[in-house]
Amino acid sequence: MTNRNHQGRPSCEEALPAETRHDAQSLLSVDGGDEPPTNFSNNRPFGAVIGQYYSRRQVLQGSLQAAVAGLFAAGPGAALAASPGRSAQGRARPGFEGELGFEAIPVYNGDEVSVAPGYSAEAFLVVGEPILGPDVGNPAANTVEAFENCSGAEMEQRIGSHHDGMTYFPFGSDPNNHGVICINHEYIDARKLFPASGPNAWVSSGTRPADQIRKGIAAHGVSVVEIKRDKATGKWQITTESGLNRRITAETPMVFSGPVRGSDLVRTKYSPDGTMTRGTINNCANGFTPWGTYLTCEENWASYFAAGTQQDAARRELRRYGVTANSRRYGWDNPEINPLTGLPDEPTASPTNPDPYRRFDATPTGFDATEDYRNEPNCQGWNVEIDPFNPDSTPVKHTALGRYAHEGCVVGVPQEGQPLAFYSGDDAQSQYMYKFVTAGRYSRRTAGSHLLETGTLYAAKFNDDGTGEWLALDINDVRFRAAVDRAVADPRSVWPGGQYDDFDGFRDQADVLVNTRLAADVAGATPMDRPEWATVHPSTGEVYFSCTNNSNRGRDTTTNTRPIPAEADAANPRPASAFGHIIRFRERGNRSAATRFNWEIFVLSGPQDDSLDLQGRPLDDTNIHASADGLWLDDRGILWIETDMGSGQQEAEINRFGNNQMLAANPYTGEIRRFFVGCRGQEVTGWADTPDGRTVFVNLQHPGEASESRPVLASTFPDGPGSGGRGRSCTIVITKNDGGVVGT
Ligand code: FEO
Ligand code: CA
Ligand code: CA
């Protein structure tokens, strides 16, 4: 096995706060979860905020430039110990200079893809394409119609839907031409999966045909696909030669590790001892480990479950995440009645796979949790480790890293003899950024999955002066215990709206982790503008996070669990942020276990008259963008930025920003250039490359999404106008026509 330090990145659909997401179910049902069009009313004048920002950044700029100068003086890659994961690849590491060597392209709003001059971009790994079984490589099985008409059983052998984060794991024997790619599949569009059902396919009330449930479950999860580049044609192809191809779905058996394993909070009829569960849901961004495994991250899982009654839904481990009595996104809990048996139509009554569909109904019906699925929602919201080189391995849900709407999970630069740090955002309005620090110390020789079983979870607090601190969410931490005691004594000091007046603390660390958001509320973390992807600079160790947007920032809006902060702050400087920003920070002493950091804003995204780059300049025609989501720092030090404007923003801004796009930035100078633009109605997400940097993979998620109600977003990509007018999620292979390194 070869190691590879890689992050991918996700995409997202919703921007609603988790607590209000279900109040907007009707909106979700129209738009596939896109956030509503941004309302610009009630803004504080942007100039006032930016004035504060400028005065603060004068200070920051000085110190950061000094830091950068120091790094350059020390020589590329010398600032931190080299990343074993990256250097183990034998990858060329020319210098981390981050220099951009291509010509920026204009915004584009057509239905093809647009890439910088001298580059090519081709579709690959399309939803519905067979990776297992007799149809691998059969073009007739890889059409829009074949995908739409395939059964649930067939879908279990095909590439899933709504591609998101991904990682390429190279084979040591021919790393640049042969590897395994793991791709997350975030969600589905029922209208594309079962078009014969017509528009009602989307309606989440009522019963569902059993095979539609099976197909929907199979279209979720992760695809593990062996791919190989034909050296004669230069084309990448799916291969089955090593027997590694695998579908992991929303029904695949998984084990728990860490403090929650065996907890009362995850006991179910399926796993009475609370050590296992089934499936991974809404896998958004991703990560990888220095020992060569894949991390897939469960983001917007809450709406897949029905909670029974309002009273049932009041359980804090449901309410704080948005599981409601009415949430049942695809109706998986409610299969049709089988006319032959008179019972709900589920595929098996196997004792090892009981109630595979009805488990999405979390209503307490039994004597205790081992007789029903009241705890099934507690089994989602984790990071899952998958070994791409062992198709028989059981995926592991690592509970020590916390339960929330994980966007991604990226490892800091591994340093021999030091703990590892993993960074992850909770993508919902005014949620938090987190870091997990392993208890064990990293050694290239012994590193493995055990490192993810024990450690400390922290939530980030950003101070207005450019400093920040990591707040431990650890029941044995003195400061956290004191904060819990204060919250128990006076819950309204934390939740002034009275939503958790009955807060009685945490029983144990498992309780803290299942209720990570509450724990971070108590600790005093900073609510952020929808933290999406994180990425780590391979040389400086700086961590970048995208804050995609937050239409409620600064609004006097009260949700049913906590008020949205009424004011912008230095780390989230815009009220009702429509365009978002990218923030970066450096751990004190470049130590993974540091509890302090320094931060600054890398770019305030937006149009020419409402944006700022690192040098304090407005963006221009070559680099305007909105709603940055995916981030990736490649091994040459280029920061790739992928955008995810929701369908409302896409429709409203299609002439100004064009379609969702990917830009490249130089982290040292802050220069940004537009490199790639996708087709209509999609988001660009996911990033992976070969070790030589000559093949880059990105994903186009949901071409044509929401075009039923927003016709301008209609897409036929990649199949073309003859395909029945329906776009399909796919991977894009980007290469330089002269065979060079992408981006340079
Ligand atoms: Fe699934 Fe937050 O993007
Ligand atoms: Ca995302
Ligand atoms: Ca997003």
List, as one string, the DSSP characters of 8-21: --------S-TTTG
Residue 468 phi/psi, 5-degree rounding, is -155, 165
**What number does the ligand 1 atom closest to the CA of 300 have?**
1
Helix (H, G, I), strand (E, B) or coil at 359: helix
Q: What is the pLDDT of residue 48?
A: 31
Per-residue DSSP letter, 308:
S
End-to-end CA distance of the chain: 29
Contact, 294 vs 222, CB < 8 A?
yes
Q: Is the beta carbon of 529 within 6 A of some atom in ligand 1? A: no
Tell me what pLDDT residue 560 has: 42
Q: What is the pLDDT of residue 430?
A: 87
Please name which ligand lies nearest the alpha carbon of 531. Answer: 1
The answer to whether the CB of 532 is under 6 A from ligand 1 is yes
Question: How far does residue 383's CA lie from ligand 2's centre (Å)?
Answer: 15
Amino acid (1-letter code) at residue 484: V
Tokens of 211: 């095979």
CA of 280 from ligand 1 middle (Å) equals 15
- For ligand 1, atom 3, the nearest C-alpha belongs to 12
| Alpha-carbon separation of residue 514 from 403, 439, 510, 576 (angstroms) | 5, 20, 6, 30
**Closest ligand by atom to 162 CA:** 1
Closest ligand to 643 CA?
3
Distance CA 665, CA 642 (A): 11
DSSP state, residue 733: E
CA of 3 to the centre of ligand 1 (A): 26
Does ligand 1 lie within 6 Å of residue 678's CB atom?
no
Residues (pLDDT < 70) of the chain are 1-96, 199-204, 348-349, 556-566
Which residue(s) pair with 121 in the sheet?
734
Task: Judge contact between 696 and 742, C-beta under 8 A.
Answer: yes
DSSP letters spanning 357-425: TGGGB----SSSGGGS-TTGGGG-S-EEEE-TT-TTPPPEEEGGG--S-B---EEPPP-TTSEEEEEEE
Distance CA 28, CA 732 (A): 27
User: From the CA of 492, how far away is ligand 3's center (Å)?
Assistant: 32
Q: Point out the ligand nearest to the CA of residue 428.
A: 1
Q: Where are the domains of the chain?
A: 3-736
Distances (CA, A) of 290 to 260, 287, 395, 457, 624: 24, 10, 17, 19, 35
Question: Hey, CA dihedral for 215, 219, 222, 225, is it positive or negative?
Answer: positive
Read off the pTM. 0.89
* Residue with the two structure tokens 């802050």: 670
Which atom of ligand 1 lies nearest, measured to the CA of 11? 3
The alpha carbon dihedral of 446, 448, 450, 453 has a sign of positive
284 lines ligand 1 (CB under 6 A): yes
Q: Which of 150, 99, 100 is nearest to 129 (CA)?
A: 150
| Distance of alpha carbon 402 from alpha carbon 555, whole angstroms | 29
Query: Does residue 10 line the site of ligand 1, with CB under 6 A?
Result: yes
Give the integer Cα–Cα distance in Å for 93 and 352: 49
d(CA 1, CA 408): 23
DSSP assignments along 583-626, one per residue: EEEEEGGG-TT-SEEEEEEEEE-B-TTS-B-TTSPPP-TTT-B-
Residue 596 CA from chain centroid, whole number: 25
Residue nearest to atom 1 of ligand 1 (CA): 12
- Residue 189 CA to ligand 1 centre (angstroms): 15
| 427 CB within 6 A, ligand 1 | yes
Please give the distance, rounded to the nearest whole angstrom, from the Cα atom of residue 533 to the centre of ligand 2.
Answer: 7
Return the structure tokens found at 269.
């009829």
pLDDT tens digit sequence for 692-707: 999 999 999 999 999 9
716 C-beta closer than 6 A to ligand 1 = no
Cα-to-centroid distance, 541 and ligand 3 (Å)? 24
Q: Which of 601, 598, 600 is nearest to 469 (CA)?
A: 598
Residues 649, 710: Cα–Cα separation, whole Å: 11
Say if residues 165 and 686 touch (Cβ distance below 8 Å).
yes
pLDDT at 569: 87
Angle between helices 516-523 and 478-489 (to 10 degrees): 90
Instruction: Return d(Cα 520, Cα 457) in angstroms, integer.
Output: 10
Nearest of 441, 296, 311 to residue 363 by alpha carbon:
311
Dump pLDDT digits (tens) for 573-609. 888 889 999 999 999 999 999 999 999 999 999 999 9
Which atom of ligand 1 lies at the shortest distance from residue 12's CA? 3
Is any atom of ligand 1 closer than 6 Å to the C-beta of 426?
Answer: no
Nearest CA to ligand 1 atom 2: 12
Q: How far is the CA of 366 from the centre of ligand 3 (A)?
A: 38
CB-neighbour burial class of residue 594 (10 A; exposed 0-12, middle 13-18, buried 19+): middle
Spatial contact of 219 and 188, defined as CB atoms under 8 Å apart = yes
Residues constituting the chain? 744
CA of 370 to the centre of ligand 1 (A): 32
Strand partners, 248: 222
Report angle CA 173, 174, 176 to the nearest 5 degrees: 145
CB-based contact 698:685 (threshold 8 Å):
yes
Q: How far apart are CA 104 and CA 107, in angstroms?
A: 10
Query: What is the atom index within ligand 1 of the atom nearest the CA of 299?
Result: 1
What is the number of the ligand 1 atom nearest to the C-alpha of 532?
Answer: 2
For residue 476, give both structure tokens. 């044995």
Contact 250, 279 (CB under 8 A): yes
Task: Kindly give the distance from the C-alpha atom of residue 7 to the centroid of ligand 2, in angstroms, as a whole number.
Answer: 13
pLDDT value for 74: 30
